[in-house]
Structure 1
Amino acid sequence: MQNTLLIFFLLISSTFSLAQQNKQTAYVEFAYNNGNSMNQTIVLKFNAKECLETVYPPSARNWNNFKTKQYNSLSDSLHDAEMIKLLDSFFIKTDTRTIYKNIEDAYFIRSSTIDEKKYCYYDTIPPRDWELTSDTLTIAGYKCLKANFEFKSGQKGFVWYCPDIPVPFGPETLYGLPGFILEVGSYNSNFSIKLKKIQIPFNDNSNLQPCNNAKLVTKAQYQKLINENNNNFEKMMLQLQKSN
């Protein structure tokens, strides 16, 4: 009887420990460089089953052409200050987006804020072909392995993933490796996603809720909204260039 109770207790303890591990949240922060002057911050919170990624809007003040510019007059400096203010107001209203991934049901939810309104759509997690290598690199104390892949554009890219963090998540739509992705790069451009901060475990009891207060739309409707928003941004940039 005592042996039976002991085995039962061990099973309960093991199940509880596994459940706690599945619910344990990790926090990762990345620096995202899209290959030009727009640098953004990506934050991922994840556990063993799900991942919520938030891409925060960039600050125009941190653009390379503003950071490195030398001003010859006060009027030029004030002009750029107004440009930065206008750009930042646009980004705050339109450029916060999230990606939620669920490995149990193999789906993701993408959402974006456009003109202060939030939209989202559901989709299945797309498969990706990985070319695993034996190359190694240590990032923030974590031993990583290298894998190659291909962007939608056809360009060649690579990631460094960590088998010691045994979840298949990574930034953007990168997914499916036997370890968490800590860095992304391109062989053809300056595009990069590099680790800034990692905290495991992360003391956060909030649920990884996707699409809070967002309007559900189809993928086609979502893409149309994104395209319209990009066109508005390009028009604004042209107007700013003409006024310069």
Structure 2
Amino acid sequence: MKKTLITLTILLGSMSSYAQNVRFTTDGVIEFERKTNMYATLKKRINKDNETYLQPAYDSYRKNQPQFKILKSTLTFSNDKSLFTPLPDTGKDAGGFWGSDPNSTQNNTIFSDLANSSFITQKKVFEETFLIRDSLRKINWKLTSETREIAGYECRRANAIMMDSIYVVAFYTDKIPVSGGPESFSGLPGMILGVALPHENVSWFATSVKDKPVTAAELKAPVKGKAVNTKGLNDTLNGVIKDWGSYAQTVLKALTI
């Protein structure tokens, strides 16, 4: 009995020491990499109505460009606030035939106030810039037992259906107790370090996490753009693309994810 008590005392002491040494990150900067399978994305665009000009463009793209387009971004966060910022596209196809396609660009700078469930997004839509203020998107996540390591953090998987039809796979870590993530993804019990939309051929995964103090100046919300809310933006987009045929829904989905 005496030996058992001693063993338990040592074990509890070790667990207490470990718990005290676990580092929970509440401030920092995460670098993300957005990867789009351009071959798969562009192939879906080709149909009998456009194949005479899109098929040659697609064939040329496959011959001269890599399969995956990589774009980078940062997520600066402090407690209950975050700022997602796309970095400039430095790829050689940035100004090419598909360069301005919404599926191959990063269109959003997003300030999220997680405590108040609100956001401010500066969104570039072709030649116009909008400033959207609204409530954070509510995503009904289902947690799983699957885990994987991302940027040095063990992350747990969650799944969801977003916008009625988009299947989402996300990985979050509770070692960063901030309910945010890249783009408009949030609402899990920890920071989202990985997101994949398998049927949309796109993913966002963290490549590094810098645990560092963040000042208020680093978390300034965007201020420029035509002021709208989410419904107002959707109404505007639907009005603009209503005559774009099958391409309309592709554009709408890309601009509202």
Give 1:30's match in structure 2, choosing from 19, 29, 32: 32
Give 2:219's match in structure 1, choosing from 208, 213, 222: 208
Q: Which whole-Å CA distance do the structure 1 matches of 2:78 and 2:191 have between them?
A: 11
- Any stretches of 5+ residues in structure 1 without a counterpart? 1-20, 64-82, 235-244
Structure 1 residues 138-153: aligned runs within 5 Å? 138-152=149-163
Structure 1 residues 11-42: Cα deviation after superposition (integer angstroms, max 9, x where no partner): xxxxxxxxxx99x6411111112442653222
Which amino acid is the alignment partner of residue 29 of structure 1? E
Q: Which whole-Å CA distance do the structure 1 matches of 2:86 and 2:143 have between them?
A: 27
Which amino acid is the alignment partner of residue 122 of structure 1? R
Are the aligned partners of 1:27 and 1:202 in contact in 2 as well (CA < 8 Å)?
no
Are the aligned partners of 2:29 and 2:212 in contact in 1 as well (CA < 8 Å)?
yes
Q: CA deviation at 1:45?
A: 0.6
Query: Within the alignment, does 1:100 sit opposite 2:111 as a pair?
Result: yes
Shift in alpha-carbon separation, 1:130–1:89, aligned structure 2, 3 A:
closer
Shift in alpha-carbon separation, 1:146–1:205, aligned structure 2, 3 A:
same
Are the aligned partners of 2:74 and 2:85 in contact in 1 as well (CA < 8 Å)?
yes
Q: Which whole-Å CA distance do the structure 1 matches of 2:230 and 2:201 have between them?
A: 29
Are the aligned partners of 1:109 and 1:210 in contact in 2 as well (CA < 8 Å)?
yes
Shift in alpha-carbon separation, 1:90–1:35, aligned structure 2, 3 A:
closer
Query: Within the alignment, does 1:190 sit opposite 2:181 as a pair?
Result: no
Q: CA deviation at 1:169?
A: 0.3
Q: CA RMSD in A?
A: 3.5
Structure 1 residues 1-244: aligned runs within 5 Å? 25-36=27-38, 38-61=69-92, 84=96, 96-113=107-124, 118-152=129-163, 154-202=165-213, 206-223=217-234, 228=240
Shift in alpha-carbon separation, 1:205–1:120, aligned structure 2, 3 A:
closer
Are the aligned partners of 1:184 and 1:192 in contact in 2 as well (CA < 8 Å)?
yes
Shift in alpha-carbon separation, 1:117–1:208, aligned structure 2, 3 A:
farther
Shift in alpha-carbon separation, 1:192–1:115, aligned structure 2, 3 A:
closer
Q: CA deviation at 1:61?
A: 0.8
Are the aligned partners of 1:51 and 1:169 in contact in 2 as well (CA < 8 Å)?
yes
Are the aligned partners of 1:50 and 1:101 in contact in 2 as well (CA < 8 Å)?
yes
The equivalent of 2:52 in structure 1 is: none
Query: What percent of counterpart residues are identical?
Result: 25
TM-score (norm 2): 0.61
Q: CA deviation at 1:185?
A: 1.4
Q: Which whole-Å CA distance do the structure 1 matches of 2:29 and 2:237 have between them?
A: 28
- Any stretches of 5+ residues in structure 2 without a counterpart? 1-23, 40-68, 248-257
Q: CA deviation at 1:215?
A: 3.8
Q: Which whole-Å CA distance do the structure 2 matches of 1:31 and 1:95 have between them?
A: 11
Shift in alpha-carbon separation, 1:176–1:222, aligned structure 2, 3 A:
same
